[in-house]
Structure 1
Amino acid sequence: MTNDGFLLPSAPNFRDLGGHRTREGRTVRDGLLYRSDALHSISEQDRAAYDGFGIRQLIDLRTHHERDRLPDLVPEGAEYAAVGVQNAEAPGANFVDLLADRERARKAFGNGAAERFMFGVYRDLVTEDEALDGYRDLVERAAKGPTALVFHCSAGKDRTGWGAALLLTLLGVDRGAVTADYLTSNERQANTDHWMRQLSRHSGLPWEDVEPMTRVRAEYLDSAFGHVDEVYGSFDNYVVDGLKLSGGTLESLRERLLV
């Protein structure tokens, strides 16, 4: 780890999900499961470290708009999989183009609408078909595909945040630790702040209108878990009826990732 606490300073939200304790007293293995922000910006100084993590599977949760604009740097020897969890044609999914249109940006995010937008994003990550298919794929790849594995979106905080919360909960990590891991993203948003401030200036929106989209909040994650209970009745029902994950997949996930 670098002196500033970042495994990869050029991708500051790249981090290991290992080390978490489960309610049954087991521990998530180190070095097998990583979460990250976008992986197009890995610097030359960080490239050796990036290749040295032994990544064998890279899962890109971004939409095709994002993937096409900023393709990932894939570690040598790794499989790359585009696994979308968001309807690419939904309002707000083509985020950069939306913020480039001042009138559309004002209607979408001005006067407190950005916060409402974020709560909507988290609801959709629980129930939309793309999200259900994508997160099922993520879990199955973590359970059965080559490791080490890294999954990411653009900022590594929302789509990736729900993916990490899902995986840790499936592994038996308690909600408090899941939320703490989720909130750690707030300390690692330097890259997001840079491009969001640029977009804010181009859109003409004041920073306070954009800021709710630049950080995670416990209420966002709580709203996703609450929506799980509202729609499916329980997290276990969400896993079986929504994600349609098999008992064998869950057993493989735990055997692989817990010690």
Structure 2
Amino acid sequence: MTDLTHAHAVSLSTVPNLRDLGGWTTADGRRVRSGLVFRSTELHRLAGDDLTKFDALGITAVYDLRTVAERSAAPDPALPGVVEVPLDVLADSSTAIPARLNEVVADPAAVAAASEALGGGKAAELMEGTYRQILTLPSAHAAYHRLFSALAEPVQPGAALFHCTTGKDRTGWAAATFLSVLGVGRDEVFEDYLLTNDELIPALHPVFAAFQAAGGDPEVLKPILGVQRNYLEGAFEEMTAQFGDIEGYFRDGLGLDPAVPEALRKRYLDE
């Protein structure tokens, strides 16, 4: 039995920021079914008792939103009965910060030199720019097309999980659009999104400490390793400007048939 630190969170020490996207209520009073779709950080540290807890979630498909370099540096473990599907959201971007987060974790001394360049709000500006970029990158459109197609019509029974490196940006947008297309209100979508600051940041205390010990300003890391409301707001603003609404984004941005949102609602909402 997994321990819950929040109504939606699953407490695994080796996989922080893991939570169930079920349980949220839609504007018309329906509820997102629990135990079917999860979001998390990368899984390469999954071990010990956490393997048993993870197996109990019934996950049979993992959608990895990381770049080729990220997957090579920290590959997910091969799990029995689990299909791994790589979906490189940022393949068409060489500048997006989320794809370079492992540099911060692996070599804080090298990144410490960037403290001045990223201070004064610059890091937050770069992060918000990345979110808007996700709405325009062909690789992002292709990745999310495949993700939502697969969620709408799973090839095998069981639950699904999607993740990136820290489970907050590429994963955050996937979760926000998944909940939005189901009809969950914007306030609840932001609530799920901002839970990352509670579920992830405490697990990254050693990273902040190492960065500071190397001469860096830990305040610089907060907008990079956490989430801010304006990041997701910027993405939604870009979506509205380009596609009108969530239905338009699925149809015109991701190139999905209108039957896909309907299939998602049928599969993941209780009547």
Same fold (TM over 0.5): yes
- Most deviating of 229-238 and 102-111: 102-111
Asked if structure 2 preserves the Cα contact closer than 8 Å seen for 1:193 and 1:214, the reply is: no
Q: Decide whether aligned partners of structure 1 residues 97 and 180 sit closer, same or farther in structure 2, where only a CA change above 3 A counts.
A: closer
- Check if 1:66 corresponds to 2:77: no
For 1:56, what is the secondary structure of its paired residue?
strand
- Check if 1:211 corresponds to 2:222: yes
Structure-2 residue corresponding to 1:236: 247
Task: Give the Cα separation in 1 of the matches to 2:45 and 2:222.
Answer: 23
Consecutive unaligned residues of structure 2, counting only runs of 5 or more, are: none
RMSD between superposed Cα atoms in Å: 2.2
Task: Give the Cα separation in 1 of the matches to 2:251 and 2:146.
Answer: 14
Structure-2 residue corresponding to 1:169: 180
2:38 to 29, 34, 37: 34
- TM superposition shift of 1:198: 3.4
Structure-2 residue corresponding to 1:198: 210
Asked if structure 2 preserves the Cα contact closer than 8 Å seen for 1:56 and 1:149, the reply is: yes
For 1:34, what is the secondary structure of its paired residue?
strand
Task: Give the Cα separation in 1 of the matches to 2:121 and 2:87.
Answer: 31
Asked if structure 2 preserves the Cα contact closer than 8 Å seen for 1:85 and 1:130, the reply is: yes
For 1:226, what is the secondary structure of its paired residue?
helix
Identity of aligned residues (%): 35
After superposition, residues 215-230 of structure 1 pair within 5 angstroms as 215-230=226-241
Task: Give the Cα separation in 2 of the matches to 1:59 and 1:102.
Answer: 29
Structure 2 counterpart of 1:2, one-letter code: D
Structure-1 residue corresponding to 2:17: 13
The number of aligned residues is 258
Structure 1 counterpart of 2:207, one-letter code: W
- TM superposition shift of 1:112: 2.7
Task: Give the Cα separation in 1 of the matches to 2:138 and 2:159.
Answer: 27
- TM superposition shift of 1:73: 2.2
- TM superposition shift of 1:94: 3.3
Asked if structure 1 preserves the Cα contact closer than 8 Å seen for 2:18 and 2:41, the reply is: yes
- TM superposition shift of 1:114: 0.7
Task: Give the Cα separation in 1 of the matches to 2:23 and 2:112.
Answer: 46
For 1:117, what is the secondary structure of its paired residue?
helix
Asked if structure 2 preserves the Cα contact closer than 8 Å seen for 1:34 and 1:150, the reply is: yes
Asked if structure 1 preserves the Cα contact closer than 8 Å seen for 2:112 and 2:216, the reply is: no
Residues 73-115 of structure 1: CA deviation (Å, up to 9, x unaligned)? 2432010011111136512433444766459835752443211
- TM superposition shift of 1:61: 0.7
Consecutive unaligned residues of structure 1, counting only runs of 5 or more, are: none
Structure 2 counterpart of 1:194, one-letter code: P
Task: Give the Cα separation in 2 of the matches to 1:69 and 1:200.
Answer: 24
Q: Decide whether aligned partners of structure 1 residues 53 and 222 sit closer, same or farther in structure 2, where only a CA change above 3 A counts.
A: same
2:129 to 120, 128, 140: 120
- Check if 1:76 corresponds to 2:80: yes
Asked if structure 1 preserves the Cα contact closer than 8 Å seen for 2:4 and 2:11, the reply is: no
- TM superposition shift of 1:199: 5.0
TM, length-normalised to structure 2: 0.86
TM, length-normalised to structure 1: 0.90
Structure-2 residue corresponding to 1:94: 100
Structure-2 residue corresponding to 1:253: 264
Structure-2 residue corresponding to 1:188: 199
Asked if structure 2 preserves the Cα contact closer than 8 Å seen for 1:200 and 1:210, the reply is: no
